[in-house]
Amino acid sequence: MRLRGWIVAALALAWAASALAQGAPAEEPVLAQDLHEQVLRLPVTVKDSFGRQETRPIALTVFKPAGDGPFPLVIMSHGRATTERRAQQARQRFEPLSRYLVSMGFVVLVPTRVGYGDTYGDFDPEDHGGCNVMRVEPVATAASDQVIAALSFARTLPYVDASRWVAMGQSVGGLTTVAVAWRNPPGLVGAINFAGGSGGDPERRPGQPCMPAQIERLWRANASAVQVPMLWLYWDNDKYWGADVPKRWHQAFTEGGGKAELHTLPAAGNDGHNGVNIDMNHWVPIVETYLARIGFSHSGVIARPPATNHTRLDDVAKVPTSQNNRDGAYKRFLDAKLPRAFAIGPKGAAGWATGDWAMGRALGFCQRRSGDRCKLYAVDDDVVWPSEP
């Protein structure tokens, strides 16, 4: 353990030097104390489509429930920004998704793969060669290699039960998840593909990805090797793939012998490609059902507390938080559109949110800095705080 600590420390110094040399993609967010968030460094060896092989230390974000575990595992794979925005693609976290999964009892690992975040620069194993000559298989192999490396590392963590784990991914991370599934690493019991694919450009070719038949052929050829049931979630207004291409990909996968339950959800926001982050209210019930079917029956849904007679919603003076929070955050909450939620911590911390997954995000904003467990004070037009005796 001491040797591994020295290795991690040395890699952290190397990472810091690299970030200074290249310029950090974005400011690091505050670690979520309530999720016991850590950022570790994991050396991975990958090969690009031209045969070049490199070993690089990647950021591995870890979220875990309170306690010693061991807890089942989710490894979540991120997507790929368009060329113009890749340099700003920082360490990946998927915080709302991770909060939901931690509340179900999972440890969540999010690897920021080689070529992203602080490893952006001179080596990109997910460069597929351009729109007209796109090669998808090397991308899927390089990305899934890193998920399997994260899995191997997870087996060394005493609080992780790697004998029961689920692969998840969004966009190119969804492509990665399908590849992980056909490689059948030990302990894999399920896999969820959120809007998976490759070759999309929402600005120059909205809904018309490069060479979609490449993915059809790849998934048809490998589908029969997948031993776990999969869940696929796509959105009608996905500007990367459009509404029809994912259905062709799913047909190819099932014709090839794979088992995948496809859900095409209604339009979400301006671009449903980001549905994993902006449409939790709709996908969570589907995922809950799937996870229960494969053995994870503890719900992560936040129950809406009943209205109480603590006070009127607009009685700002009785909100049990600081004067600054009453004058600032709470009054902004009152002006916000429904759905909305306001949460308060035991030491006066506060957080609020409006829109999708409002209760979960309000609780997260409230408790992430201190780690103290918060409770909902108001939801929509109701005060839900317990009445004073």
| Chain segment 324-374, per-residue pLDDT in tens | 999 999 999 999 999 999 999 999 999 999 999 999 999 999 999 999 999
Q: Give the pLDDT of residue 244.
A: 97
Q: Distance (Å, rounded) from C-alpha 12 to C-alpha 178? A: 31
For 327, 332, 381, the CA distances from 337, given in Å and listed in that order, are 18, 10, 10
Q: Give the pLDDT of residue 81.
A: 82
Q: Give the pLDDT of residue 22.
A: 39
Task: Report residue 356 as tokens.
Answer: 């999708």
Q: Give the pLDDT of residue 190.
A: 98
Q: Give the pLDDT of residue 221.
A: 98
Q: Please give the backbone phi and psi of residue 159, each rounded to the nearest 5 degrees, phi first.
A: -90, 5
Residue 69 three-state SS: coil
Residue 35 three-state SS: helix
Amino acid identity of 102? Answer: V
- 222-260 pLDDT per residue, tens: 999 999 999 999 999 999 999 999 999 999 999 999 999
CA dihedral 354, 360, 362, 368 (to 10 degrees): -140
Tens-digit pLDDT string for the chain (389 aa): 333 443 343 334 343 333 333 344 457 788 999 999 999 999 999 999 889 999 999 999 999 999 999 999 999 999 998 766 777 888 999 999 999 999 999 999 999 999 999 999 899 999 988 898 899 999 999 999 999 999 999 999 999 999 999 999 999 999 999 999 999 999 999 999 999 999 999 999 999 999 999 999 999 999 999 999 999 999 999 999 999 999 999 999 999 999 999 999 999 999 999 999 999 999 999 999 999 999 999 999 999 999 999 999 999 999 999 999 999 999 999 999 999 999 999 999 999 999 999 999 999 999 999 999 999 999 999 999 997 64
Q: Give the pLDDT of residue 26.
A: 56
Q: Give the pLDDT of residue 3.
A: 35
Longest dimension (CA), the chain: 71
Q: Return the H-helix or E-strand segment holding 39.
A: strand 38-47
pTM of the full structure: 0.91
CB 367 within 8 A of CB 345: yes
Enumerate the H helices of the chain as residue ranges: 2-22, 95-103, 137-154, 172-183, 212-222, 245-255, 275-278, 280-293, 323-325, 331-335, 358-367
SS3 assignment for 5-18? HHHHHHHHHHHHHH
Q: Give the pLDDT of residue 4.
A: 40
In the 8-state DSSP scheme, what is residue 311?
-
